[in-house]
Structure 1
């Protein structure tokens, strides 16, 4: 692949329903869509899933723009790339900034799949024809959350994740369990606790949760290991896992029993596959997390989740869960709690250019001619 032009589309889309976490409530979503064009005029799409504020990782939309414009895009424009897996090595001279890296790498995976005339799932090594999916329920009043969960259960979602924080955990989960005693349920803490909350966290074993996701800080591998020894509920690490090396540390220390893989968080699909393979060798199940993405990242996540060790339903909800109108055609839809893995070449969906124009707030173009 000889990339001739990269276009960045900075977009802003309003969420169908405000999304509450321990960090705050979000009403819209700003993202960067990456459009890469090769020497044959073929176009691949990726997405930078950083948020506008550095609450999830240190990256933001603005920092990603800087890294893309001044470092990553120039690297891509000056190298011929045979396979997307080469990009991680090319980008290794740049520390972290994984979401910016993943945005470009995703576009190159799409291009590679198109050029080799295969679906993205096949190119990644996927084996499933369909995947079970879960849904995230943001923090709200208990009654509102129960209404949403009832609706999502009727729609067929296979796993339910609720956000918790120290001021709102036991009674919230108790209320949910009373209403839905057998629902596949997990709790996501987004690093809101410390080991000072040990006894409080141990009480959550009462609810038969599938897992508790990222209860402690993202650098607390040792303390997560200590906590896992005290809890029956499996710990799942999310924000802690930025690379294969992080996964190796977590597995070696016993910091968790499950790992959430998000391509944006770990630097792209190549590293996501490496983490998947390592966890598979160590019999540790994984699942694919979500980042309130547009359909571009959503269908890439579907392709990734078709790999064999993704045995837990991921946060890959239907497009309508977050958007009145997604950026892709057709939108991602749910069929009896499952999403069909696209079999057409590349992403298996096309970008809706008219919708893209409606939500774009800024466009930047970079080409070999203008270097």
Structure 2
């Protein structure tokens, strides 16, 4: 691919010379680090539940290959193509959210998955990137077309999505959706008075969720007072970081994966902390930060409001998901079952992130008249 000439007018040639290759490189490093961590963390988990030693490794590689294929194909799209794909994904995702309430598979007290042949699909994962793009389009159209009810339609779709997520229940995903939607609304020019009103409503909603959902109250109580309930996973996670120190105990030499049920998924960052230490964990954090900031730099000079808002929503979503996972693992926030993008095991998550980052790469490609993105 590096041998492609700048004058190459093929689809692949145009893609290579317009896509952000720095972001591609950072994503490649992230994917590689994730594969190493899955190979280290998942075999003990598989053996504990009676599966073949490398069950999760093989499945992760399969999902990862599909995700990277999705990322590449999606990154070839034009902004219009990204919007159309997102519309299809959003409709399918909302129907999937509704289906979880009827035929959903209950896991750990929540019905967030729909069982399909050979795979359990979590529709909310696909709703996240799709809604970020459609919200951006509706906000942009409100600004560009007089009388277009973009704000109203977007708010109605948002209300439907959040209601369905809370019925599962999945408060964490609803919070991520709300944060991205609120940020895009603000960037689109929401009046300050409404910003304050929405902020108050959001705080009220968080307080109300404490009293409405017992599992939310339990997690917050355990965060504030670990002795008030079962804090086994978070205690083991913190011990892993202490054992790892600055440089770690070495790849494959950690012990936390022998005891943590979710060592290959929600708590994979703890495995990284023990086996690779503080230094490599900071490198991992820096990769996420670089991808988000690089994306904002690429799109900062774009004169297309839809592209600006959509890219902002997708990048914030990507960074926020990483922060929530790492913050939970380090006991900086109440625990929340959310994967670390491109690192944790999870089929729906990997595929949805592939769509999300593919759309981000598509929107941040150089386009004639789009501005002077570096």
- Same fold, TM exceeding 0.5? no
The structure carrying a bigger helix percent of its residues is 2
Task: Tell me which of the two structures has the higher relative contact order, counting C-alpha pairs closer than 8 angstroms and 6 or more residues apart.
Answer: 2
Class of the TM-score when normalised by the shorter of the 2 chains = under 0.3
Computing the radius of gyration from Cα coordinates, the structure with the larger value is 2
